Amino acid sequence: MNEKFDLAAIAGKFAIDGAYVSCIRYGEGHINDTFKLTVNDNGKEVHYILQRINDRLFTDVDKLMHNIELVTAFCRKSVEKRGGDPMRECLTLIRTKDKKPYYFDGENYFRVYAFIENATSYQVVRDPKDFYESAVAFGSFAALLADFDATQLYEVLPDFHNTKVRYANFLRAVEKDVCGRKTEVQKEIDWVNAHKDLCGKLVDKIASGEIPLRVTHNDTKLNNVMLDNATGKALAVIDLDTVMPGSLCYDFGDSIRFGCNPAAEDEPDLSKVNFRFDLYETYLDGYLSAVGDSITDEEKKGLPLGAVLMTYECGMRFLTDYLEGDTYFRTHRPKQNLDRAHTQFKLVDDMLSVFDKMTDAAMKRH
């Protein structure tokens, strides 16, 4: 692909040894532009992740990178304490030659991470063991963050998982209908409106203090965790841009939303999309085993609700983006955001049909 950035020149701004070899698009994230950078250091190929930060979303890159520096340093310390390998078990930020956490070329912001080698971030669950491992990774990450001082962090995306605010944004998009797509998706709009009572179910409990606000990851999908190719074990939680105050229920729920669907998030054939209850139980086992005693009863009760709400919210965000002309989530084809919305709505329907069973499964586990 012909890139609009001079990636070799940008790579040269960072404190990296070796000669530039290549820099190619990488991964399936919806937000940043991610590249795999290869350099030749004395005959040995070394890889990095180079990212153009999405500054339309992260409007204050200094604050974003302040958070990333603190969180990566905190994770590194904990990995070192347990005798692990920090280059593989957490993200390592590579500074620029003038020691800054990112490079600004006058127009775009770039950052570099060490590449986590011999590890994979999966797009769908192929083996339940992988899903269990991802649950352990996110559960351990939640337990680790319990000791993180929240006052140190900027809330870079306020109301990120405030479902009521997301709904208000959705209504505004419907009302404005800037692309003239409203009539085409009236059925979907009606579906969202018919479920609007869901919006307050968790945020009200968080507001009243019934469910605690903690420092959470806020984007816990399967492709934001790296599993070791050799052992299959969870290695590192990545994509730390959204580490902010949030709820454990939402973090749990986002993993369920993404991982319990055997099809892709944008699968156009809805007959392939369904909620796999067995995988939900697998994730519960892994998550609860790792999160430890810090989870409260109210949080545990809120886990199934977290799954429903994250799926509802995400579907609503995809539909909002479709109405607004696909400006937020990266798309590669027309109607991709609409397909994404459809899969989420189908999953919500599936989850609601077994909701009591989901609650029983969460509550009977210790």
Q: Which one among 162, 224, 261, 337 touches ligand ADP, defined by CB under 6 A?
A: 224
Asked if residues 221 and 255 have their Cβ atoms less than 8 Å apart, the reply is yes
Sign of the CA dihedral with 146 first, then 151, 154, and 159 last: positive
Told to check if 238 binds ligand ADP by CB under 6 A, we report: yes
Calpha distance 90→114 (Å, rounded): 10
Q: Which stretch binds ligand ADP (CB under 6 A): 135-143, 150-158, 196-204, 233-241?
A: 233-241
* Smallest distance from Mg ion to CB 181, Å: 27
Calpha distance 121→127 (Å, rounded): 13
Q: Which stretch binds ligand GN1 (CB under 6 A): 26-34, 42-50, 111-119, 354-362?
A: 26-34
Asked if residues 67 and 111 have their Cβ atoms less than 8 Å apart, the reply is no
Q: What are the residues whose beta carbons fall under 8 Å from the beta carbon of 192, sequence distance 6 or more? A: 167, 170, 312, 315, 316, 319, 345
Which lies closer to ligand ADP via its Cβ, residue 48 or residue 312? 48
Told to check if 265 binds ligand GN1 by CB under 6 A, we report: yes
Count Cβ atoms below 10 Å from residue 271 Cβ, excluding itself.
8
Which of ligand ADP, Mg ion, ligand GN1, none does 314 bind, CB closer than 5 to 8 A by kind?
ligand GN1
> 31-50: which residues touch ligand GN1 (CB under 6 A)?
31
Calpha distance 215→144 (Å, rounded): 10
Sign of the CA dihedral with 236 first, then 292, 314, and 111 last: negative
# residues contacting Mg ion (CB under 5 A)? 3
- Give phi and psi for 14, each to the nearest 5: -100, 155
Calpha distance 32→239 (Å, rounded): 10
Q: With both helix axes pointing from N to C terminus, report the angle between 248-259 and 297-323 in degrees, rounded to the nearest 10.
A: 60
Which of ligand GN1, ligand ADP, Mg ion, none does 324 bind, CB closer than 5 to 8 A by kind?
none
Cα-based distances in Å from 331 to 171, 310, 318, 328: 22, 20, 11, 9
3-state secondary structure of 243: coil
Which of ligand GN1, Mg ion, ligand ADP, none does 116 bind, CB closer than 5 to 8 A by kind?
ligand ADP
* Smallest distance from ligand ADP to CB 114, Å: 6
Nearest in space to 44 (alpha carbons), one of 69, 62, 15, 21: 21
Provide the mask over 107-136, with x wherever binding to ligand ADP is found by CB under 6 A and - wherever it is not.
Answer: ------x-xx----x---------------
* Smallest distance from ligand ADP to CB 36, Å: 8
# residues contacting ligand GN1 (CB under 6 A)? 11
> 15-74: which residues touch Mg ion (CB under 5 A)?
29
Q: Which one among 89, 228, 239, 339 touches Mg ion, defined by CB under 5 A?
A: 239
Which lies closer to ligand GN1 via its Cβ, residue 130 or residue 321? 321
Strand (E) or helix (H) holding 41? strand 33-41
> 143-202: which residues touch Mg ion (CB under 5 A)?
none
Query: Facing residues of 14 across strands?
Result: 96
Interface residues toward ligand ADP, by CB under 6 A: 26-27, 29-32, 34, 49, 91, 113, 115-116, 121, 223-224, 238-239, 241
- Where does this chain bind ligand GN1 (CB under 6 A)? 29-31, 219, 221, 224, 239, 241-242, 265, 314
**Which residues here bind Mg ion, judged by CB under 5 A?**
29, 224, 239
